[in-house]
Copies of this chain bind each other. A is one copy, B any other.
Amino acid sequence: MEEEVMFYDTDCGGVVHNIAYLRMIEKARTKLAANMGMALREMASTRLFPVVVRTEIDYRKPAILGDFLQIHGKLTGLQGPRFWVEFTIHRNQPAELLITCRQSLALVQMPEGRPVRLPESWAKFWPDLVMKKSTAKE
């Protein structure tokens, strides 16, 4: 996924504000979820939402206004109602790794806020990502 850095992404330090990258990551996460069979449109009616439980983000180099950024995400772990995803943000020119980010999410039924087991299909499609209780990170 590509994003161009807008004025609203930057701050008066002259670089992209630390919070703005998390909007880009959310957009990438949404596209990742859509690829895994969870479209936003559907969530709006079922109210079964992926909820961020933890974020770790490292700011390695800053982006500036007008940079074109590549955001990539992948699923890295599955366990009960939780899953783990990782993201990188690279600048196109000059090519550089700017951001690495790791998030864990839980599938939650709103408005009750009840955690829901991940779909069976996920474990079937990505068997190597299923984590045992004892080895779950965090």
Chain A interface residues (CB < 8 Å from chain B): 4-8, 10-15, 17-19, 22-23, 26-27, 30, 39-44, 47, 49, 51-59, 62, 64-67, 108, 110-111, 113
Contacts and interface: CB of A to CB of B under 8 A. Distances in A.
Contacts of A111: 14
Contacts of A5: 40
A114 to B, nearest CB: 13
Contacts of A62: 51, 113
A6 B43 CA distance: 11
B39 A66 contact: yes
Contacts of A8: 11, 17, 19, 23, 26
